[in-house]
Amino acid sequence: MRRLNILIGALSIPLFLAAWEVVARSGIVNMVLFPPPSIVAVAVLEWIRSGQFFSDFGASLYRVVTGFTLGAIAGVALGVLTGQFPLVSSLLSPIFHVLRPIPPIAFVPIVILWFGLSEAGKLFLVFWGVFFTVWLSAHIGVQKVDRGLIRAALMLGTPRRQMLQEIVLLGALPYIVVGLRTAVSISFYTLVAAELAGAFSGIVYRIEIAQQNLQTGQVMGGLAALGLMSFVADRMFATVAERAVWWR
Amino acid sequence: MMQIRQRPDPTLALVPSRPPTAAGPAEVLTTIQVSNLSIVFDTPQGQVIAVDRVTFSVNQGEFVCIVGPSGCGKSTVLNTIAGLEVPYSGEVTVDGRPMQRPRPDVGMVFQQPHLFPWKSVRSNIAHGPRMLGKSRGEARAIADGLIEMIGLGRFADAYPHTLSGGMQQRVAIARALANQPRVLLMDEPFGALDAQTRSVMQDNLLELRERIDATVVFVTHDIDEAILLADRVLIMSAGPGRILRDLGVDLPRPRSNAIMLDPAYIALKKDCLDLIRSEGRRAFEQSTAG
Ligand SMILES: Nc1ncnc2c1ncn2[C@@H]1O[C@H](COP(=O)(O)OP(=O)(O)O)[C@@H](O)[C@H]1O
Ligand SMILES: [Mg+2]
Instruction: Supply the CATH number for residue A154's domain.
Output: 1.10.3720.10
pLDDT for A219 equals 95
| N- to C-terminal Cα separation, chain B | 42
Q: Secondary structure of B219-275 in the HEC alphabet?
A: EECCHHHHHHHCCEEEEECCCCECEEEEEECCCCCCCCHHHHHCHHHHHHHHHHHHH
- Per DSSP, the three-state class of B50 is strand
pLDDT for B283 equals 76
Is residue A1 situated within a structural domain?
Answer: no
Contact A157 B179 (CB under 8 A): yes
Domain end position, chosen among B180, B195, B219: B180
Q: A136-187 pLDDT, tens per residue? A: 999 999 999 999 999 999 999 999 999 999 999 999 999 999 999 999 999 9
pLDDT for B3 equals 42
B176 and B189 share one domain: no
Q: A199-243 pLDDT, tens per residue? A: 899 999 999 999 999 999 999 999 999 999 999 999 999 998 889
Give me the mean pLDDT over the B195-199 stretch. 93
Domain end position, chosen among B130, B161, B180: B180
CA gap B162, B164 in Å, rounded: 7
User: Which residues of chain B are at the A interface, by a Cβ-Cβ cutoff of 8 Å?
Assistant: 82, 84, 102-104, 106-108, 110, 112, 114-119, 127-128, 131-132, 159, 161, 172, 175-176, 178-179
Measure B41 CA to ligand 1 centroid, in angstroms. Answer: 8
B278 and B166 share one domain: no
Is B115 in contact with B150 (CB distance < 8 Å)?
Answer: no
Which chain A residues are closer than 8 Å to B84 by Cβ?
Answer: 151, 154-155
pLDDT for B290 equals 52
Contact A247 B110 (CB under 8 A): no
Bridge partners, residue B48, by sequence: B41
pLDDT for B186 equals 98
pLDDT band at B37 (very low <50, low <70, confident <90, very high): very high
| N- to C-terminal Cα separation, chain A | 33
Q: A61-88 pLDDT, tens per residue? A: 999 999 999 999 999 999 999 999 999 9
B69 and B168 share one domain: no
B150 and B244 share one domain: no
Q: Secondary structure of B91-158 in the HEC alphabet?
A: EEEECCEECCCCCCCEEEECCCCCCCCCCCHHHHHHHHHHHCCCCHHHHHHHHHHHHHHCCCHHHCCC
Share the mean pLDDT of chain A: 94
CATH number at residue B219: 3.40.50.300
The protein residue with its alpha carbon nearest to ligand 1, atom 1, reads: B41
Measure B79 CA to ligand 2 centroid, in angstroms. Answer: 10
Q: Is the pLDDT of residue B19 over 60?
A: no
In degrees, rounded to 5, the angle at the alpha carbon of residue B138 between the alpha carbons of residues B135 and B139 is: 85
Is A138 in contact with A76 (CB distance < 8 Å)?
Answer: yes
Q: Probe ligand 1: pick from B76, B86, B234, B237, max atoms within 8 Å of CB?
A: B76
pLDDT for B239 equals 67
Q: Is the pLDDT of residue B9 over 50?
A: no
Is residue A18 situated within a structural domain?
Answer: no
Q: Nearest Cα to A175, choosing from A83, A65, A64, A90? A: A83
Is residue A48 situated within a structural domain?
Answer: no
B144 and B232 share one domain: no
Q: Is the pLDDT of residue B23 over 80?
A: no
Q: Which ligand is in closest contact with the Cα of B39? A: 1
B176 and B285 share one domain: no
Q: Nearest Cα to B234, choosing from B77, B110, B87? A: B77
B140 and B175 share one domain: yes
Is residue B262 situated within a structural domain?
Answer: yes
pLDDT for B4 equals 43
A 10 A CB-CB count for B41 gives 13
B55 and B160 share one domain: no
Candidates A154, A158, A247; nearest CB to B117: A247
Give me the mean pLDDT over the A34-43 stretch. 93
Candidates A148, A158, A166; nearest CB to B110: A148
Is residue B10 situated within a structural domain?
Answer: no
Is residue A74 situated within a structural domain?
Answer: yes
Is A150 in contact with A163 (CB distance < 8 Å)?
Answer: yes
pLDDT for B24 equals 46
Contact B116 A157 (CB under 8 A): no
Is residue A135 situated within a structural domain?
Answer: yes
B86 and B135 share one domain: no
Q: Is the pLDDT of residue B12 over 70?
A: no
Q: B100-119 pLDDT, tens per residue? A: 999 999 999 999 999 999 99
Give me the mean pLDDT over the B67-92 stretch. 94
Is residue A60 situated within a structural domain?
Answer: yes
Is residue B60 situated within a structural domain?
Answer: yes
Q: Which ligand is in closest contact with the Cα of B68? A: 1
Is residue B12 situated within a structural domain?
Answer: no
Is residue A32 situated within a structural domain?
Answer: no
Q: A81-140 pLDDT, tens per residue? A: 999 999 999 999 999 999 999 999 999 999 999 999 999 999 999 999 999 999 999 999
pLDDT band at B8 (very low <50, low <70, confident <90, very high): very low
CA gap B110, B173 in Å, rounded: 9
B139 and B283 share one domain: no
Q: CA dihedral defined by B193, B151, B137, B189, rounded to 10 degrees?
A: 20
Number of domains in chain A: 1
Tell me which residue range forms the domain holding B74.
Answer: 30-105+184-290
pLDDT band at B10 (very low <50, low <70, confident <90, very high): very low
Q: Is the pLDDT of residue B282 over 90?
A: no
Tell me which residue range forms the domain holding A103.
Answer: 56-244
Q: Which DSSP string corresponds to B54-91? A: EEEEEETT-EEEEE--TTSSHHHHHHHHHTSS--SEEE
pLDDT for A94 equals 96
Atom of ligand 1 nearest to the CA of B39: 12
Beta strands across the sheet bearing B46-59: B46-59, B30-43, B89-94, B97-98
Is residue A198 situated within a structural domain?
Answer: yes
Is residue B154 situated within a structural domain?
Answer: yes
Give me the mean pLDDT over the B116-127 stretch. 98
Q: Which ligand is in closest contact with the Cα of B73? A: 1
Measure B258 CA to ligand 2 centroid, in angstroms. Answer: 27
Beta strands across the sheet bearing B106-109: B106-109, B183-187, B215-220, B63-67, B232-236, B243-248
Q: Probe ligand 1: pick from B39, B48, B84, B185, max atoms within 8 Å of CB?
A: B48
Is residue B9 situated within a structural domain?
Answer: no
Assessment of whether the complete model's pTM goes beyond 0.90 = no
pLDDT band at B18 (very low <50, low <70, confident <90, very high): very low
CA distance B82 to chain A (A): 8
Q: A184-206 pLDDT, tens per residue? A: 999 999 999 999 988 899 999 99
B159 and B82 share one domain: no
Is residue B6 situated within a structural domain?
Answer: no
pLDDT for B70 equals 86
Which chain B residues are closer than 8 Å to A150 by Cβ?
Answer: none
Number of domains in chain B: 2
Is residue B250 situated within a structural domain?
Answer: yes
B221 and B191 share one domain: yes
